[in-house]
Amino acid sequence: MKIIFLILKREYLVRVKKKSFLIMTLVTPLLVSCIWLIPIFFAMRGIDQKKIEVIDETGKFENTFKNTKELVFQTVKTPVEQAKKDFGKSGYDALVHIPVSILENPKSLKIYAEKNVSLDVKSGIEKAIEQEIENIRLLDAGIDRKVLESTKVDVSSDTYSLSDEGEKDSSSGAATGIGYLCAFIIYIAIFIYGVQVMRGVMEEKTNRIVEVIISSVKPFQLMAGKITGVALVGLTQFLLWILLTFGISSVMSSFLGESVGPQKRVEMMAQQPGVSQAPTVEKPKTEQKSSPMTTVLKAVSTLNIPLIIGCFLLYFIGGYLIYSALFAAVGSAVDSDTDVQQFMFPITIPLVLSFIMAQFVIREPDGAVAFWMSMIPFTSPIIMMVRIPFGVPAWEIVLSLTLLMGGFVGTAWLAARIYRVGILMYGKKPSYKELVKWVFYKA
Amino acid sequence: MNILETRHIVKQYAQHRALDDVSIDIPRGQIFGLLGPNGAGKTSLIRIINQITGPDEGEVFFDGKPLGPEHISRIGYLPEERGLYKKMKVGEQLLYLAQLKGLSERQAMEKLKAWFIKFDIKTWWTKNVEDLSKGMQQKIQFVATVLHEPDLIILDEPFSGFDPINANLIKDEILELREKGSTIIFSTHRMESVEELCDHIALINRSKKVLDGPKKAIKEQFKTHTYHVEYQGVLNDLNPAYTVLDKKPLEDGFLRANIRIPRDAAVNELVRDLIDHVNVRAFGENIPTMNDIFIKAVGEVPTT
């Protein structure tokens, strides 16, 4: 045990002291904070007003365009050719040309601009004209717009989950998001740190230090120390990432907050792309019962957060251990980077497969595929994490974790048997047949 | 008393028997030369002694007791293919390796200080291993091997990679370690260093031990009863019991001949006979070198 601790300590310190570790640990939260805060920053700088010149040859669209904070429309009567010529000096940002033929040929609409107009503006203008044409056509057919409106219904529902505690507001959106996020982090972490274990093993082997080390310690101790050491590096890095991200975010947002009240900040966070739909030209957001941000927070709060965090840690560690043991075995079997691919491929198949399957499982978290894949130790860390936010019976979690642990013991045993032979084998690349033989060698 | 004994060791790899019934006794306080051509099984045997692998059959005794984990800290091993963690500082690395051998950090520190002063390498402590030359790395590795003052030191080709000055330095260290009571197993291809250092040798060829014993006795065993003589004159009418193996002229008009005499013949008779016939300048016995013995022993093994 003392020996494993010594090895663990070295593996940990060597990695944590590396410059690349320091840089990764600092840069990542900075980037995440920036991704989060830059849109807010730009939103606060005030919106650039864009002036748009409209040449309406039909004369039917005069009232179609409503001025907003971002866009000011000006209808002019100049001929198109003239307007295009003068566009540079006119001070307008864009020129919309609605030809006479628009009613028959809706594709004849043209937008000119010095730079490309943003997709938002373009689709806003298109939508407004589309609707106006629709209106005109409806009127021509003798249908009043109001009649049509009254036939439209907007069905939306709140989802509730029925549990022992009675009816609870739930959001499958939040569950999907959280589940997918957890699965993604586990997937990435297994790859990053699993490969670190493999590189470490290969380094010892190609440096030939391994023979000195295993004349002092058992190969299994060396492998175990390395795997746990790297695991701690991973946990340290994640912990620092979380702390630093929160720290940097709050420092940066309080810095931004000096000019804006907190009320407005929340509002702006809510307006971020992804959180709410981008506002459209003809229908600026006016009514919204609650901001989407609070909806998300509310939905998240209905999830069993402690369970999710607990399971996340267990599956994170379990998944990492099971795969890093295999990565260690691969590292011990090969001499050079070029041989790595062949052996890495079969190991990564279940990992990649479960990540791909996660998208399907998320749509049907209680299906048979979801169940079985969350039991198999090689796929359960990802698949089960996807399912847990949706609610999984306790016995399934317990069974899956037990199987995961059993799977780890099995793989660790197998990996250790390959490892102890592999680290002393130099020269030719072993075949799978030889790897199997190594497993059965007497110690 | 032997510090290490192996009894009928057999090590079988898939298609290949690396060691076949190898029994050797390594006497305490001696330098034991473990010789053999490439692939003979030396490394397999060394790995078994280091408990890196186990034998399929046979036993190993350390200090009279079956070899076990408690002996790890009493053995120091310098493998032929050596290496260190490249990105690690010299000092940290040596401390780490010493702790793996069971020293406490403080003990290791004290011993390291002494070695760093002795080798005058104090400035290397904070250097990365990759910044040192190959010879310097070898020195570090030697220190790592003997730092925990093991009773049994196994050196596999210890001089490879050293320039003559440093090779001498290491040689003196090896002799000093023996003076202090350590036993050294010395595996090498360089017969001149065997000649110089070893008290006892064992030769392994094709997985089998073919020769074993004190160096003197082995030399005695391989004696060919031939003598060389440098002379002037005509070497014709010698006692017919003597065989003149070859004659060749030297640059200064003298000749040099090798003469074999019967096993029980007296050397004095030969000398007398020579003096009667030719003008003798020099005379001596042809003592087999380790190189001769090696070639002979390895060549003698029948090929199956």
Model confidence pLDDT, tens digit, residues A63-93: 777 777 677 888 887 788 888 777 777 778 7
Cβ of A212 and B85 within 8 Å? no
Q: Which residues of B touch A215 (CB under 8 A)?
A: 50-52, 72, 75, 77, 79
Q: pLDDT tens digits, residue range B145-155?
A: 999 999 999 99
Q: Determine whether the interchain pair B85/A209 forms a contact, defined as Cβ–Cβ distance below 8 Å.
A: yes
Going by C-alpha positions, the residue among B83, B90, B162 that lies closest to residue B123 is B90
Is residue A386 domain-shared with residue A238, that is, in the same domain? yes
Measured between beta carbons, the chain A residues lying within 8 angstroms of B77 are 211-212, 215
- Say if residue A235 is in the same domain as residue A380: yes
Range of the domain at A102: 50-144
pLDDT at position A116, please? 66
Q: Which two tokens stand for residue A96?
A: 């919309």
Q: What is the pLDDT of residue A404?
A: 94
Q: Which residue of A has its CA nearest to B99?
A: A6
pLDDT in tens, A258-297: 554 444 444 444 444 443 344 444 444 434 444 555 665 6
Cβ within 8 Å, pair B96-A10: yes
Burial of A150: CB neighbours in 10 Å, binned 0-12, 13-18, 19+: exposed
Pairing of strands B65-66, B17-27: unpaired
Pair B34, B204: CB distance under 8 Å: yes
Rounded to an integer, what distance in angstroms lies between the CA atom of residue B189 and that of residue A97? 92
pLDDT in tens, B263-288: 888 889 899 989 988 999 999 998 88
* DSSP structure string for A371-414: HHHTTSTTTHHHHHHHHGGG---HHHHHHHHHHHHHHHHHHHHH
Asked if the structure places residue A236 within a domain, the reply is yes
Amino acid identity at A33: S
Angle ∠(A371,A376,A379) on CA atoms, nearest 5: 90
Q: What was the pLDDT predicted at A299?
A: 65
CB B45 within 8 A of CB B233: no
- Which of B97, B100, B187 is the best mutation test for A, with the most CBs of A within 10 A? B100
**CA distance to partner chain A, nearest, from residue B190 (Å):** 22
Q: How many CB pairs under 8 A join A and B?
A: 61
Which is higher by pLDDT, B9 or B237? Answer: B9
Q: What is the CATH number of the domain that holds A110?
A: 3.40.190.10
Q: What secondary structure letter does DSSP report for A59?
A: S
> Searching chain B, which residue's CA lies closest to the CA of residue A208?
B83
Do A187 and A216 fall into the same domain?
A: yes
Last residue of a domain, one of A108, A125, A144: A144
Start-end of H helices in A45-153: 80-90, 119-140, 145-151
Question: Which residues, in sequence order, are CB contacts of A166 under 8 Å at separation 6+?
Answer: none
Q: Chain B closest CA to A208's CA: distance in Å?
A: 5
pLDDT category at A168 given cuts 50, 70, 90 is very low
Q: What are phi and psi of B61, to 5 degrees?
A: -115, 130
Closest to A397 measured CA to CA, from A325, A311, A332: A311
pLDDT at residue A265, rounded to an integer: 46
Per the listing, tokens 């990105």 go with B87
Q: What is the pLDDT of residue B291?
A: 86
Number of domains comprising chain A: 2
CA-wise closest residue to A39 among A296, A279, A271, A280 = A271
* Interface pTM, i.e. ipTM: 0.81
Q: Which of B17, B81, B134, B155 to mutate to test the interface with A (most CBs of A within 10 A)?
A: B81
Angle, helices B90-100 vs A2-16, to 10°: value is 160
Rounded Cα distance between A417 and A440, Å, is: 8
Chain A residues with CB within 8 Å of chain B CB: 3, 6-7, 10, 14, 203-204, 207-209, 211-217, 424, 426, 437, 442-443
Give counts: helices (H), strands (E), chain A.
Answer: 16, 6
Residues of A with Cβ-Cβ distance to B56 under 8 angstroms: 442
Domain finish residue from A109, A144, A179: A144
Chain B CB contacts of A211 under 8 Å are: 52, 77, 79, 81-82
Against a cut of 0.90, is the pTM above it?
no
Smallest CA–CA distance, residue A381 to chain B, in Å, is 34
Contacts of B88 in chain A (CB under 8 A): 14
Indicate whether A208 and A295 sit together in one domain: yes
Whether A67 is in a domain gets the answer yes
Task: Give the C-alpha separation, A185 to A381, whole Å.
Answer: 11
Q: Are residues A433 and A317 in the same domain?
A: yes
Q: How many residues does chain B have?
A: 304
Whether residues A99 and A204 fall in one domain: no
Residue in A closest to B73 by C-alpha: A216
* Inside any domain, residue A97: yes
Same structural domain, A324 and A188: yes
Chain B CB contacts of A212 below 8 Å: 77-79, 82-83, 97, 141, 144
- Whether residue A320 is contained in a domain is answered as yes
Does the distance separating the beta carbons of A442 and B100 come in below 8 Å?
A: no
Provide the sign of the torsion angle of the four alpha carbons A127, A130, A132, A134, taken in this order. Answer: negative
> Could you give the count of Cα atoms lying within 13 Å of B81 in the half-sphere of its Cβ?
15
Report the residue of A1, A10, A205, A212 to disrupt the B interface, i.e. the one with the largest count of B CBs within 10 Å: A212
Helix-then-strand count for chain B, H and E: 9, 14
- Indicate whether A93 belongs to any domain: yes
Q: How far apart are CA B136 and CA B129, in angstroms?
A: 9
CATH 3.40.50.300 fits domain B2-220: yes
Task: Read off the pLDDT band of B30 (50, 70, 90).
Answer: very high
CA A391 from chain centre, in angstroms, equals 21
H/E segment holding residue A117: none
- Residue B22: predicted pLDDT: 92
A224 vs A325: CA distance, rounded Å: 8
More confident residue, B15 or A310: A310
Whether residues A6 and B100 touch (CB distance < 8 A) is answered with: yes
Q: Which of A387, A39, A443 is nearest to B47 (CA)?
A: A443
Find the chain B residues whose C-beta atoms sit closer than 8 A to any C-beta of A.
Answer: 14, 47, 50-54, 56, 72, 75, 77-79, 81-88, 96-97, 99-101, 141, 144
Classify the C-alpha dihedral B147-B153-B159-B164 as positive or negative.
Answer: positive
DSSP lists the bridge partners of residue B208 as B205
Q: Do A212 and B82 touch (CB under 8 A)?
A: yes
Same domain as A21, residue A73: no
Residue B301 has pLDDT above 60, yes or no: no
Does residue A297 sit in the same domain as residue A384? yes
Band of the pLDDT at A44, cuts 50, 70, 90? Answer: low
Q: Is A274 helix (H, G, I), strand (E, B) or coil?
A: coil
Output the pLDDT for position B59.
92
Backbone angles phi, psi at B65, to 5 degrees: -110, 150
DSSP calls for A1-22: -HHHHHHHHHHHHHHHTSHHHH
> Is A215 in contact with B53 (Cβ distance < 8 A)?
no
**β-pairing verdict for B200-205 and A166-169:** unpaired
Q: Are residues A107 and A214 in the same domain?
A: no
- Inspect the interface and report whether the beta carbons of A216 and B87 lie closer than 8 Å: no
Are the beta carbons of A311 and A387 closer than 8 angstroms?
A: no
Phi first, then psi: give them for residue B208, nearest 5 degrees.
-120, 150
- Among candidate residues A103, A126, A144, the one where a domain is terminated: A144
